Structure 1
Amino acid sequence: MASECSIPVIDLQDFPNQSSKLIAACEQWGCFRLLNYNQVLPSTLMSEMKAVVRLLLDLPEEIKRRNIDVIAGGGYVAPSPKNPLYEALGLHDMTSHQGVDDFCSQLDASPHQRETIMKYAEAVHALIVEIGKKLAESLGAKSEYIEFEKWTCRARINKYHFTPESVGTIGGPMHTDSGFLTILQDDEDVGGLEVMNQSGDFVPVDPWPGTLLVNLGDMATVWTNGRFCNVKHRVQCKEASTRVSIASFLLGPDEILEPLPELVDDDHPRVFVPTTYEDYRKLRFSTKLHAGEALALLHPPNSVK
């Protein structure tokens, strides 16, 4: 199904054979399709979670507005004049049983819904940590010293209300993810997601059931000293239908993140100053630079880029 012009495909059960292909995908695209992850995240659980998500997004607005969060924009996002086709719910900390429980309580989730969300959060977190370790090992870094399991992990449940009038318009503006790594369980039937290739052209990410899309964000570019690409992406309205997706974000450590020492030497000087994810997130919001441009503000003084 993949061609030279399409997004790379990585088989999670074929490592270390896939290591060089994984690195090439991260350097050239900043994203890849993931296959054979069902031992960690079963397809039945993915289907159950998508059914739960659709019900939650169909709740009355007064209930969805209870989904508040500790950071601006982290909870419920209602359709707005600027982005009338989009709404979303936010889960602040997928790694915390209390955090997941609070999310469920805000939305009056049933016992079955609560159990599904809890299982999904645990499985996705385990998968996202495994992918992080595969990235580290493929780069020659010692993954056992990188505590991915302690990094903050959030989720966002997205709904796009595409109408006949909106076909051909932008449903979600171009951006990069500010964090390290994103796992996207996309809509199985309704397309619209597009990623930018190295030529600056947008490539459609068509529905492909049984796969996940993995995107690299700005923190992955910092972590690899500029080696990995932070993929720009957007959502186009392709058809008059409702599109639902679940994005899970591995953001970064609570403490300082800086380039891997294995990727810094005389031939590859340090490209970015150390930062924390939270400081960088605030920098993006304060500068309104949401497509990776804020990374330029992390270059060391007198560096040449």
Structure 2
Amino acid sequence: MGENGVPTIDLHQFPGQYEKLRKTCVDWGCFRLVNHNISLSLMADMKMVVRSLLDLPSDVKKRNIDVIAGSGYMAPSKVNPLYEALGLYDMGSSEAVETFCSQLDATPYQREIIGMYAKAIHEAAKDIAQKLAECMGLSGDLFEKWICQFRINKYNFTPETIGSSGVQIHTDSGFLTILQDDENVGGLEVMNPSGVFVAADPAPGTLLVNLGDMATAWSNGRLRNVQHRVQCKEATIRISIASFLLGPKEEVEAPPELVDSEHPRLYVPFTYEDYRKLRLTTKLQAGEALELKRIQS
């Protein structure tokens, strides 16, 4: 258990961590990952690249267009005026990585780092998802073809914005998120099992993992899609890298092993892309859109 309450999962301690992983994902829906396989030098290099890309002129950043709804450049908005982001959809595709880099006139060095990071994080996301499936009694290569996306985030905090919201309360729409947070600037808060927001303060060299709406649907309601937010704590720029294992290209539905008389099927099958559109059109950003996919008894 971390100092702030967010549980810690140690990748070096598997298979001994399976039950802790299952309980953590049921109760909390998030954990801090230690002893992962992403090198600290790659994390540091990627953070430098990300900062330089987010400092590009607006007309260049706007070339980062959507592949699916909401996957490209996000400019500051009325809802989140302090926040902007760039997005790479389908990190597992070398062609998609190249397109993203070309949109932003990335240098050869930046392209190399982005490509290395995308590959490493994509493999890490599939590994964590596989361990999560195994701790629930499932086997087989379940996540190999699932789409993975990253979003690089910038928060423009000023003295006037201290105490305000950097990003509104939300759940993530995908299956799981791996966050490389800003090691120098806090502000991320997650809702604990008691329904209280607690700080998920940065811990250098670690990654924060949280589960989204697709995990709740896929697990037939067992796994928690954790609500979280970003609060402005100090007048500075905050940079983070969020990588999302979104879901399969086809429809997501709970595996038969997770459906029985005590756990009847809760949700109709649906695709991630359709669900993403539903969240955007309804503006239901904190997991409520899942209720619209619930099977009516």
Is the CA contact 1:136–1:143 (under 8 Å) kept in the aligned structure 2? no
TM-superposed CA distance for 1:83, in Å, is 2.2
Aligned twin of 1:176: 171
Aligned twin of 1:185: 180
Cα 1:279–1:243 change in 2 (3 A) is same
Does residue 87 of the first structure (1) align with residue 84 of the second (2)? Answer: yes
Aligned twin of 2:22: 23
Cα shift readout 1:230-285 (whole Å, capped 9, x = no counterpart): 00000000000100000000100011211122221111111112111112112212
Aligned twin of 2:207: 212
Does residue 42 of the first structure (1) align with residue 39 of the second (2)? Answer: yes
TM-superposed CA distance for 1:198, in Å, is 2.0
Does residue 78 of the first structure (1) align with residue 75 of the second (2)? Answer: yes
TM-superposed CA distance for 1:70, in Å, is 2.1
Aligned twin of 1:229: 224
Runs of 4+ deviating beyond 4 Å:
none
Query: How many residue pairs align between the two structures?
Result: 297
- What is the CA–CA distance in structure 2 between the aligned matches of 1:112 and 1:213, rounded to whole Å? 27
Scaled by the length of structure 2, the TM-score of the pair is 0.97
Aligned twin of 1:112: 109
Aligned twin of 2:6: 7
Paired letter, 2:160: E
Structure 1 segment 193-272 matched on structure 2, within 5 A? 193-272=188-267
- What is the CA–CA distance in structure 2 between the aligned matches of 1:76 and 1:300, rounded to whole Å? 34
- Ranges in structure 2 where 5+ consecutive residues have no aligned partner: none
TM-superposed CA distance for 1:72, in Å, is 3.1
Aligned twin of 1:58: 55
Aligned twin of 1:157: 152
TM-superposed CA distance for 1:160, in Å, is 0.1
- What is the CA–CA distance in structure 2 between the aligned matches of 1:186 and 1:36, rounded to whole Å? 16
Cα shift readout 1:141-190 (whole Å, capped 9, x = no counterpart): 0133x1x1211111100000000000000010000001101000000000
Scaled by the length of structure 1, the TM-score of the pair is 0.95
TM-superposed CA distance for 1:63, in Å, is 1.2
Paired letter, 1:47: A
Aligned twin of 1:68: 65
Other structure's SS at 1:143 match: coil
Is the CA contact 1:30–1:228 (under 8 Å) kept in the aligned structure 2? yes
Is the CA contact 2:68–2:273 (under 8 Å) kept in the aligned structure 1? no
Tell which deviates more after alignment, 127-136 or 72-81. Answer: 72-81
Other structure's SS at 1:16 match: coil
- What is the CA–CA distance in structure 1 between the aligned matches of 2:80 and 2:283, rounded to whole Å? 16
Tell which deviates more after alignment, 118-127 or 258-267. Answer: 258-267
Is the CA contact 1:91–1:99 (under 8 Å) kept in the aligned structure 2? yes
Does residue 99 of the first structure (1) align with residue 96 of the second (2)? Answer: yes
Identity %: 64
- What is the CA–CA distance in structure 1 between the aligned matches of 2:173 and 2:41, rounded to whole Å? 30
